[in-house]
Structure 1
Amino acid sequence: EDWLAMSVYRNIVWFLKGINEYTRNGFQAASKQFVDKDMEVAVAGRTFMITGAGSGIGKATALAIAKKGGTIHMVCRNKEKAEKAKADIVKETGNKEIYVHLLDMSEMQKVLEFAEGFKKKYKQLNVLINNAGCMLKQREVNSEGLERNFATNTLGVYILTKSLIPLLEKSSDPRVITVSSGGMLVQKLQSDDLQSENDHFDGTMVYAQTKRQQVVMTEQWAKAHPNIHFSAMHPGWADTPAIAMAMPEFHHAMREKLRSADQGADTVVWLSVSQAAVTLPSGCFFQDRRPVSTHLPFAWTHTSPEQEQKFMTRLEELSKSIQAR
């Protein structure tokens, strides 16, 4: 009963916070504090990898960075959508340094092979943007027996990032940005049931749990790799194809209040290109260009360093078992 009451409390506080901060109005209010010159930068010669760049926030991010002259590696699952997005970006920006890579982030062996191949072919990667994600309502497992939300949002991100860290460390001003979600505020890190096998499967809560896991990974990576600037961020409630598909009722009820994809991408772009971002500590969780708390007040979502280490160790073990295949 205490658990249920706490869960209800978290959800209510989160939703009220969301109505206030995560909507289009929230963005417009926050943007009054933005410093325009933060974004007045040219990034020609710098290389950016963006997963899930075929639509929504990923595409909006790719477009904004391409306008500034960056070389973009779009990592997408759907070839048709990816090629169309690339054509749109080239046409709008005149930037031809846009490359498409096809990859399903829910298949770990393929993620590992892609990262290893990328390191062999390319000599630099300045910024990695982990944006691809999924929210499945029913429990599904991939070809490797892993629950697909966890595989895509957590282990795929872990394997891709860890594999690319040596290349990032060789490149100038390296950064890793992970697009998380404010939904993680309703979840405490659970390291004992990463495959969501033990309880009734609630896809929205499993998604929120993987987003909490991304925040913990970001904090741990920041400690382990001080030469790279790591950050996680919440894009707010944005009107994207992914949200429309995963949460149709929410999308329908809120669509007048949702942010545009560009507004959702704003902090990702800011974290990727601005000098202001790297003056802030590595490992923070950002919303509208500022670091914010990773916990709601009185929400009992803090975990011990031991639990967080156990979680990271489990990811490393799973990663090694993929490498051993």
Structure 2
Amino acid sequence: MKTILITGSTDGIGKVAAIKLAKAGHIVLLHGRNEEKLKKSVSEVKELSGNDKIRGLIADFSNFRSIKNLVAEISKEIPSIDILINNAGVYKSPVENNQNGLDIRFAVNYFAPYILTNGLISLLKRGDSPRIINLSSAAQATVSLRALEGIETISMQEAYAQSKLALTMWSFNFAETYPEITTIAVNPGSLLNTKMVKETFGHHWSPADKGASILYEIASSEKYKNSSGKYYDNDQGGYNEAHKDAYDRKKITNLLATTKNKLDDQYDKNYN
């Protein structure tokens, strides 16, 4: 039995994956930003899985203070985490920027999992064969550091693709930094039947179960135990090469330095 945290798990592939993992008897921590929706999802997962070891956690991933509060709550009440699935993401949004002036795609898709994961490292290290699954995408584009910092405005499509490449670059570096934690970046599949895809594109190519199934498999199968630092492309049904920038040491170093500086600056202004 594993303790598994899935972000963005009140709908889409996160919720379907949660149901699959709950049916397998694991302790599943659901995350959402809407309290009512989260309570409903927790009840549904319990009912569908016959598993009462389900808990809901609230945080707004566009708000860095909210993420920090979530880290504090988890650290106080959960002794260890075996699997962290960074699934929460946004493409189309009624709000273009978060309260820090950052593009909402960068804030939720990249900065949020960065803050959450780094805040939970001690719990992950206590986990049983710990794994991190970072939800990447087939859409990956060279990261503009000015856009990352909120200085340059780019299109919704570009911001999404850049945020997903940033996540992948960080994922590869994290795998090197923490070899004791298996860290895998995953494209769960393009245009899956999820709320995000419906709102953005109005159509889909594949069922949500396609993405949920690969998350379940990577989270639970021993065959992925030694696959840290890799990119799994579910469109291709196996490991694949990510964007070339994900292997560029200089670009990764610049990305992480810019990320740290931006977060340090935000914390100095808002948290001290």
- Residue among 190, 193, 197 paired with 1:239: 193
Greater Rg by CA: 1
Give the CA RMSD over aligned residues: 1.8
- Residue among 221, 226, 230 paired with 1:279: 226
Q: Is the 8 A contact 2:58 2:70 kept in 1?
A: no
- Residue among 226, 232, 253 paired with 1:309: 253
Q: Percent identity?
A: 26
Q: Structure 1 residue 320 and structure 2 residue 264: aligned?
A: yes
TM-score (norm 2): 0.92
- Output aligned runs, 1:65-80, within 5 Å: 65-80=21-36
Cα separation, partners in 2 of 1:137 and 1:76, compared to 1, 3 Å: closer
One-letter amino acid matched to 1:293: E
- Output aligned runs, 1:39-78, within 5 Å: 44=1, 46-78=2-34
Q: Is the 8 A contact 1:134 1:152 kept in 2?
A: yes
Q: Is the 8 A contact 2:62 2:98 kept in 1?
A: yes
- 1:40-59 superposed Cα distances (whole Å, 9 cap, x missing partner): xxxx2x10000100000100
Match of 2:175 in 1: 222
- 1:122-142 superposed Cα distances (whole Å, 9 cap, x missing partner): 111001100001113677222
Match of 1:194 in 2: 148
Structure 2 Cα separation of the partners of residues 263 and 121 of structure 1: 33
Structure 1 Cα separation of the partners of residues 39 and 95 of structure 2: 30
- Output aligned runs, 1:10-21, within 5 Å: none
- 1:27-48 superposed Cα distances (whole Å, 9 cap, x missing partner): xxxxxxxxxxxxxxxxx2x100
Q: Is the 8 A contact 2:149 2:262 kept in 1?
A: no
Structure 1 unpaired stretches of 5+: 1-43
Structure 2 Cα separation of the partners of residues 150 and 221 of structure 1: 18
Task: Report deviation, 1:170.
Answer: 1.5
TM-score (norm 1): 0.77
Bigger mean CA offset, 140-149 vs 130-139: 130-139
Structure 2 Cα separation of the partners of residues 57 and 214 of structure 1: 18
Higher relative CO (CA 8 A, sep ≥ 6), structure 1 or 2?
A: 1
Structure 2 unpaired stretches of 5+: none
Cα separation, partners in 2 of 1:306 and 1:72, compared to 1, 3 Å: same
Aligned residues: 266
- 1:184-230 superposed Cα distances (whole Å, 9 cap, x missing partner): 1xx1233343145435x310121011001111010010011111000
Structure 2 Cα separation of the partners of residues 103 and 193 of structure 1: 24
Structure 2 Cα separation of the partners of residues 129 and 264 of structure 1: 12
